[in-house]
């Protein structure tokens, strides 16, 4: 929605997380005298003057009070209340859509690069940002990675935007470059079923005006995305791909993979995606690879903690899917690993993860939280000789891991599930793990 449309509308902001607060500040800066309603579970006492507060329970009685509701990403598009608002003629939008609608004027048309995927989107987005910044470009990084789009500085040459499925589901504006890294089952509570999740995720790469970057090695992407116009594949021999010790484009060697500091094949594939984006931008690939060599990753993503005792702790709290945890184990193959896993149950299929654990071997698997028993049962079926222990929570898991892990071994938190059954988010879970690791 444009500023002119918002100026005439009766507005509610639904959700008071980081993006909701950013949205309120953006509206207040442009319409200081405009009444705005906030809809949230609770009131935190920090709302601007002139802001009305409603709980979600109040919403059904006030549907006709609004022309526009700006929904935070955590509010499912498929909630009954959203349907009721739409049926009443209320326009549902998001801060993401508002940023895109005003981008050309506010940011003078800087190139937009939107990245999504079940796994790897934060690392890939941050890597692209790092490469562009290292090459001297004026670049901003935001979206799901933690900085609301409306807080980004205007006037950049490039805007690298990480988008979750919650943000792509109702996206109405085409980015210049749209990237889909992979598709795996996730977020069933928000989307209702996996088919809807896949549909909402791939919506990002369905705008005909976007250049689209796709992963040829991802089976679901190949199956579900039918597009031939302006497509740039990676992980295929005639494009950027991993070939033995090299990163190559066709038969041209771009760089030596061992010089890229992030561990694991999955991170090398993230590098392929990032350099494919750079290729679409017309940048020199060898210069981009050189820039990538100084990228050292993000917190909570195979993050090696300072070693102060007999064990090396690794924080991979971001791994909220079985596929991500399997990739982490592959990246650390050859070490004596005690894996701590388990979290919110989203009906994940642990079959392939259990097979990976059986094939790679573990010093021990320690499970906790909602998925703990299901994962433990699956591993015990797949690998009867694998030591499996069940505990109640992360503190108990770390305590037990210290006891059962040999000197020099790795204690890896890679939950294969979301955090919301025990923590606010994966960052809080990772921070708690780091606290426990440092206090032993």
Ordered by start, the domain boundaries in the chain are: 3-93, 99-292, 303-438
Locate 117 and state its tokens. Answer: 């995927």
State the architecture of 303-438 in CATH terms: Alpha-Beta Complex (3.90)
Q: Does 51 belong to an annotated binding site?
A: no
**Pairing outcome for strands 303-304 and 312-315:** antiparallel
Q: Is 97 annotated as a binding residue?
A: no
Is 249 annotated among the ligand-binding residues? no
**Closest of 322, 331, 275 to residue 303, by C-alpha:** 331
Whether residue 118 is annotated as binding a ligand: the answer is: yes
pLDDT for 45 equals: 67
| Contact assessment for residue 345 and residue 317, using Cβ atoms and an 8 Å cutoff | no
pLDDT of residue 146: 87
210 is in an annotated binding site: no
- pLDDT at site 140: 97
CATH number of 99-292: 3.40.1190.10
pLDDT tens string, the chain, 440 residues long: the values are: 888 999 999 999 999 989 999 999 999 999 999 999 999 987 766 777 778 999 999 999 999 999 999 999 999 999 999 999 999 999 999 999 999 999 877 667 799 999 999 999 999 999 999 999 999 999 999 999 989 999 999 999 999 999 999 999 999 999 999 999 999 988 889 999 999 999 999 999 999 999 999 999 999 999 999 888 999 999 999 999 999 999 999 999 999 999 999 999 999 999 999 999 999 999 999 999 999 999 999 999 999 999 989 999 999 999 999 999 999 999 999 999 999 999 999 989 999 999 999 999 999 999 999 999 999 999 999 999 999 999 999 999 999 999 999 999 999 999 999 999 999 999 999 999 999 999 97
Is there a binding annotation on residue 182?
no
Whether residue 120 is annotated as binding a ligand: the answer is yes
Six-digit token string for 413: 């938190």
CA separation for the pair 413, 328 (Å, rounded)? 10
Spatial separation of the C-alpha atoms in residues 57 and 285, rounded to whole Å: 53
pLDDT on residue 36: 96
CATH architecture of 3-93: 3-Layer(aba) Sandwich (3.40)
d(CA 101, CA 245): 44
Number of Cβ within 10 Å of residue 118's Cβ equals 24
Q: Token pair of 392, please?
A: 């109640």
């Amino acid at each position: 929605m444009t500023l002119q449309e918002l100026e005439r509308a009766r507005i509610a902001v639904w959700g008071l997380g980081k993006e909701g607060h950013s949205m309120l500040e953006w509206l207040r800066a442009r319409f200081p005298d405009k009444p705005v309603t906030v809809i949230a579970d609770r009131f935190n006492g920090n709302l601007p003057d002139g802001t009305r507060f409603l709980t979600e329970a109040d919403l059904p009685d006030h549907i006709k009070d609004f022309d526009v509701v700006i929904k935070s990403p955590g509010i499912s598009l498929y909630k009954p209340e959203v349907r009721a608002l739409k049926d009443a003629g209320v326009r549902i939008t998001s801060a993401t859509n508002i940023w895109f609608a005003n981008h050309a004027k506010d940011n003078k048309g800087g190139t937009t690069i939107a990245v999504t995927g079940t796994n790897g989107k934060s690392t890939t987005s941050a890597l692209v940002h790092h490469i562009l910044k290292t090459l001297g470009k004026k670049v901003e990084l935001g979206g799901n990675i933690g900085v609301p789009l409306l807080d980004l500085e205007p006037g950049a040459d490039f805007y690298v935007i990480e988008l979750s499925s919650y943000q792509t589901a109702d996206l109405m504006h085409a980015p210049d470059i749209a990237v889909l890294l992979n598709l795996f089952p996730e977020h069933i509570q928000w989307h209702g079923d996996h088919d809807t999740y896949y549909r909402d995720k791939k919506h990002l790469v369905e705008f005909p005006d976007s250049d689209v970057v796709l992963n040829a090695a991802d089976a679901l992407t190949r199956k579900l995305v039918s597009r031939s116009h302006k497509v740039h594949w990676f992980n295929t021999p005639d494009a950027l791909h991993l070939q033995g010790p090299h990163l190559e484009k066709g038969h041209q060697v771009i760089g030596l993979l061992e010089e890229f500091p992030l561990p694991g094949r999955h991170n090398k594939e993230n590098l392929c995606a990032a350099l494919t984006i750079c290729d679409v931008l017309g940048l020199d690939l060898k210069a981009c690879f050189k820039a990538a060599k100084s990228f050292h990753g993000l917190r909570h993503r195979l993050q090696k903690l300072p070693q102060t005792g007999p064990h090396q702790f690794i924080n991979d709290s971001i791994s909220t899917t079985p596929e991500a945890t399997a990739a982490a184990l592959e990246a650390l193959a050859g070490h004596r690993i005690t894996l701590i896993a388990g979290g919110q149950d989203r009906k994940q299929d642990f079959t392939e993860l259990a097979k990976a654990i059986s094939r790679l071997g573990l010093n021990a698997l320690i499970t906790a939280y909602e998925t703990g028993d299901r994962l433990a049962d699956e591993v015990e079926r797949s690998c009867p000789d694998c030591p499996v222990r069940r505990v109640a929570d992360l503190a108990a898991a770390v305590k037990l891991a210290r006891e059962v892990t040999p000197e020099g071994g790795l204690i890896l938190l890679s939950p294969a599930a979301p955090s919301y059954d025990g923590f606010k988010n994966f960052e809080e879970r990772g921070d708690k793990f780091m606290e426990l690791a440092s206090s032993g």
